[in-house]
Structure 1
Amino acid sequence: MKLNTPKLMLTALALAATSAYAAEPVIGLITKTETNPFFVKMKEGAQAEATKLGAKVMSAAGKTDGDNAGQVTAMENMIAAGAKTILITPSDSKAIVPAIKKAQAQGVMIIALDSPTEPANATDALFATDNYKAGVFIGQYAKAALNGKKPVIATLDLFPGHPVGAQRHNGFLQGYGLTSLDAKSNELAKPAEVVCMADSFGDRAKGQTGMENCLQKNPNINVVYTINEPAAAGAYNALKAAGKEKDVLIVSVDGGCAGIKDVGAGVIAATSQQYPLRMAAMGVAAGVEYAKTGKKVSGYTDTGVTLISAKAMKGVDSKDVKTGTDLCWGNK
């Protein structure tokens, strides 16, 4: 018996380890791209929360923003690997829905992060910024900053039909007090004050090209709305090359660390800061709870938004660059 004891102990330990591994919740995270800093931070948040709660995160992304096929393949691979919760930032809000329904039929909980599906109730839950409110904040700021001067606006949008792109765009116009559409619309309003609209896909290079084209259409542009801060940085490059960077106000959405640095440097006048790390952490926690109890989350959870600017405007609630730096994409 004494000779067999070590073997029995090793077997017991091995079985315990195997059991513990099998019980480890597997949670999938599918983002739009691997390279956008917003999604890099989201991945960090998911991994940190998973480590804390004893879960395993599988991550994947589309090749580019809009790559629905890549996201569908990632979802199928994660389900095959045992994921019972998948967190996703949908690239195509409509086209992803059949894959989501198929996953749910297999008992997988699907939580959208940052971007809703269309319809929004196709997922079990949504953890996201109020993107319309984020747009309203920068619209209010831009109007106050122009101080009565007639706006000549260019918008560097995401791409047609995406709900987040529409919400930010239309919210910006609403905040400025211009003719707009409500938060439920996926169309982009174009009042007379908007003289140029370009699709940037949230990309710096495409943002620069879009701004160059807009300046050719109308060199008198004095306000630029951008879907995110990489697009804003591209717009600034185009304006600087044209010698107009001091004459044009750029506002944006995201609040990433690089974006807040650009606010401090005067590249961006103001940005609406959101919190992707928090979105991902909440999604992982919900996934662990589902694995343990079978309880699913539901509905929309607002993960917060804060206006950050280097120069405060009277009547507009904003925080300074130091606050934005302290909070950039993390938890409050």
Structure 2
Amino acid sequence: MTRTPRARRAITALAAAGTLVVGLAACGSGSTDAGSAGGSDKAKVTLILKDLQNPFFTALADGAKAEAAKDGVELTVVAAKKDGDEQGQIDEIESAVLKGQNGILILPSGPAVNKAMNDARAQGVTVIALDTPPDPIDTADITFATDNFEAGKLIGEWSKAFMASKPATIAMLDQFSDRTIQTDLNRDQGFLEGMGIDLADKTKKGDEAKTGTYGDGGTYTIACQEPTTGAEDGGRTAMENCLTKNKNINLVYTINEPSAAGAYKALQAAGLQDKVTIVSIDGSCAGVENVSKGVIAATSQQYPVKMAELGVKAIADKVAGKALPAVTDGLNFYNTGTALITDKAEDGVKSITTADGSKICW
């Protein structure tokens, strides 16, 4: 299994079709071309999202549309029915190939999509992954994404400093329970390493709580690991399930901010919102606002608009005969950056305030 940068130590994490066209250009009447380039010289690109509800994906789509207009790219934006709908994405890849698209931008929902991505590349289509690195990572020509291990590590380091060796009873709210995707795995690994938790035998599947020491000798218990599908209602259900297993949870790690918002509602309903610290990853404007309100204590901000801009431009440049951007570590991975946002700064952990984070949120 090829890992993205920084995710070098293996653990076994809890594992982790309809079409809706919303893009700037689709075949048929009523389609709108982006930019001013004309005729057959215009690059044709399909962006395949996981869903159209998550604000991260809609921000990414908006960024792609703006860049397409700038570069003269004919862009079609489609999505599967829901996050995790691998067959829906496979259908969209096959459709894009049949339509003669030059490139596909995709946030792959899982390993079942790999074959369709490889088949598209074999037919001369440039396939670029955004946000979610495929496994193996060379399934795509290049990936533009957050270093998810680093994003997880940042909130883990902040959590370790914040907990200050006090007993930590941890709930881990992930994406899926029926599959493992690199985004989840790397964020989980990063969080645990940042906390100072041994990755060799922790976060195994099953309900058995894992215990040990973290940081400078604090004790921890991983009380639960529950799927959320990255949605608010999933986060609430996952948190409710965790509380049935352990009422002493005082630290909640969530895969993204919608699931964090749902977890907070479950804690509110149980009267525990002031006794539990939530950390997350995303950096949306709504998420940054929740950090300022104390709903989330700290979040690692990522930059979906930048991912989209880089992806659209890379395909436009490829059609024009230019090379794809240079990558590091010998992997087809381009790190789009991350920053920790919190109003409760901890010594030794680099962070920015919500005031600064709100200026660059999405």
Q: SS state of the match for residue 110, structure 1?
A: strand
2:230 to 184, 202, 207: 202
Aligned with 1:179 (options 198, 202, 209): 198
> Which structure has the higher relative contact order (CA within 8 Å, separation 6+)?
2
More deviation, 217-226/56-65: 56-65
Check if 1:72 corresponds to 2:90: yes
Q: Which residue of 2 aligns with 1:13?
A: none
Residue 302 of structure 1 pairs with residue 335 of structure 2:
yes
Q: Which runs of 5+ in 1 are unaligned?
A: 1-17
- Describe the superposition over 1:285-311 as per-residue Cα deviations: whole angstroms up to 9, x where unpaired: 001001111634562100000000021
Of 58, 64, 67, the residue aligned with 1:40 is 58
CA distance in 2, matches of 1:145, 1:245: 17
What pairs up with 1:1-332 in 2 under 5 angstroms? 20-92=38-110, 94-159=111-176, 160-180=179-199, 191-192=210-211, 193-293=221-321, 295-297=323-325, 299-329=332-362
TM-align CA RMSD: 2.0
Amino acid at match of 2:342: S
Aligned pair in 2 of structure 1 residues 26, 181: CA closer, same or farther (>3 Å)? farther
CA deviation profile, 1:85-111 (whole Å, cap 9, x unmatched): 11100001x211110111111110101
> Shift in Å at residue 191 of structure 1?
3.8
Pick closer, same or farther for the CA change 1:135–1:188 going to 2, 3 Å.
farther
Cα offset for 1:161?
A: 1.1
Which letter maps to 2:339? Answer: T
Structure number with higher helix proportion: 1
CA deviation after TM superposition for structure 1 residue 252, in Å: 0.2
How far has the Cα of 1:73 moved from its partner?
Answer: 1.1
* Residues 114-136 of structure 1, C-alpha deviations (whole Å, 9 max, x = no match): 11111111111011100011001
String of CA shifts for 1:221-256, please: whole Å, max 9, x gaps: 000000000000000000011110011000000101
| Residue identity in the other structure for 1:227 | I
Q: Counterparts of 1:202 and 1:295 in 2: how far apart (Å)?
A: 35
Q: Deviations over 1:194-222 (max 9, x none)?
A: 01110111011011011011111100000
Deviation of the 1:20 alpha carbon: 2.1
User: What is the match of residue 31 of structure 2?
Assistant: none
Please tell me whether the aligned partners of residues 251 and 271 of structure 1 are also in contact (alpha carbons under 8 angstroms).
Answer: yes
| Runs of 5+ unmatched residues, structure 2 | 1-35, 212-220
- Residue matched to 1:8: none
Structure possessing the higher radius of gyration over alpha carbons: 1
Give TM-score, length-normalised by structure 2: 0.82
Q: Closer, same or farther in 2 for the Cα pair 1:205/1:240, shift >3 Å?
A: same
TM-score (norm 1): 0.89
CA distance, structure 1, for counterparts of residue 144 and residue 200 of structure 2: 23
For residue 224 of structure 2, give the secondary structure of its aligned residue in structure 1: strand
Residue 148 (structure 1) shift: 2.1
In structure 2, give the amino acid aligned to 1:113: L
